[in-house]
Amino acid sequence: MAEPLIAILGSVDPRREKELQLRDPVMACRAAEEIGVELAKQGCRVLVSCPATPQAEFAEALVVRGYVKSGVARSNSIEVHRPIVSPLPPFAEEGMHHELFKYELIDNEDWAIASFLSLAKADGMMILGGGQSTLIAGLVGVGYRVPTVSLAGFGGRAQEIWALLRSSDNKLATPEELSLMAQPGWNADSARRCVGTLLNQRKRKQQGVDPTLAREHRRVIAIAALALSFFVALLVAIAEYSRGENLSRMLSYVLFCAPALAGAGGSLVRIVFDWTQAAKRLASQGPPVISAALGAVAGGVSGLFFILAQKIAIGDLQTKQAIILLPFVLIVGLVAGLTLDKVFPKLLSLDVVKTEALEGKPSVLEAGTNK
Burial of 257 (0-12, 13-18, 19+ CB in 10 A): buried
Last residue of a domain, one of 163, 187, 207: 207
Are 304 and 197 found together in one domain? no
Q: In the chain, how many domains are there?
A: 2
Buried (b) or exposed (e) across 328-354, using 16+ Cβ within 10 A? Answer: ebbebbbbbbbbbeebeeeeeeeeeee
Sign of CA dihedral 368, 369, 370, 371: positive
Are 271 and 289 found together in one domain? yes
DSSP 233-287: HHHHHHHHHH-TTTS-HHHHHHHHHHHHHHHHHHHHHHHHHHHHTTSS-GGGS--
- The rounded distance, in Å, linking the Cα atoms of 40 and 33 is 11
Are 284 and 197 found together in one domain? no
Residue 115: which H helix or E strand, with range?
A: helix 111-118
Buried (b) or exposed (e) across 275-290, using 16+ Cβ within 10 A? Answer: eeeeeeeeeeeeeebb
Q: Are 165 and 141 in contact (CB under 8 A)?
A: no
Q: Is residue 17 part of a domain?
A: yes
How crowded is residue 262: how many other Cβ atoms within 10 Å of its Cβ? 26
Last residue of a domain, one of 165, 180, 207: 207
Q: Are 202 and 127 in contact (CB under 8 A)?
A: no
Last residue of a domain, one of 165, 192, 207: 207
Are 60 and 173 found together in one domain? yes
Are 345 and 359 found together in one domain? yes
Q: Is residue 370 part of a domain?
A: no
Are 64 and 202 found together in one domain? yes
Q: Is residue 50 part of a domain?
A: yes
Write down the pLDDT at residue 275: 78
Are 128 and 276 found together in one domain? no
Report field, pTM of the whole predicted structure over 0.75: no
- The rounded distance, in Å, linking the Cα atoms of 7 and 13 is 18
Helix axes 132-143, 111-118, angle to 10 degrees: 20
Are 187 and 228 found together in one domain? no
Q: Is residue 233 part of a domain?
A: yes
Nearest to 209 by CA among 145, 278, 268: 145
Are 202 and 310 found together in one domain? no
- The rounded distance, in Å, linking the Cα atoms of 214 and 226 is 18
Q: Is residue 95 part of a domain?
A: yes
Are 179 and 251 found together in one domain? no
Q: Is residue 27 part of a domain?
A: yes
Phi, psi at residue 256, to the nearest 5°? -85, -30
- The rounded distance, in Å, linking the Cα atoms of 174 and 197 is 9
- The rounded distance, in Å, linking the Cα atoms of 188 and 44 is 20
pLDDT per position as a tens digit, 93-152? 988 999 999 988 776 666 666 677 778 889 999 999 999 989 998 888 888 889 999 999
Are 282 and 237 found together in one domain? yes
Q: Is residue 371 part of a domain?
A: no
Q: Are 36 and 3 in contact (CB under 8 A)?
A: no
- The rounded distance, in Å, linking the Cα atoms of 254 and 149 is 55
Write down the pLDDT at residue 366: 45
Are 231 and 275 found together in one domain? yes
Enclosing domain of residue 243: 211-365
Q: Is residue 65 part of a domain?
A: yes
CA distances (Å), 211 to each of 70, 158, 276, in order?
32, 22, 28
- The rounded distance, in Å, linking the Cα atoms of 74 and 81 is 18
SS (H, E, C) 127-159: EEECCHHHHHHHHHHHHCCCCEEEEHHHECCHH
DSSP 57-86: B-HHHHHHHHHHHTS-PPTT-EEEEEESS-
Helix (H/G/I), strand (E/B), else coil: 4: coil
Q: How would you list the strands of the sheet with 5-11, edge to edge? A: 101-106, 78-83, 45-48, 5-11, 124-129, 148-151
Which residue stretches of the chain have pLDDT < 50? 357-358, 363-369, 371
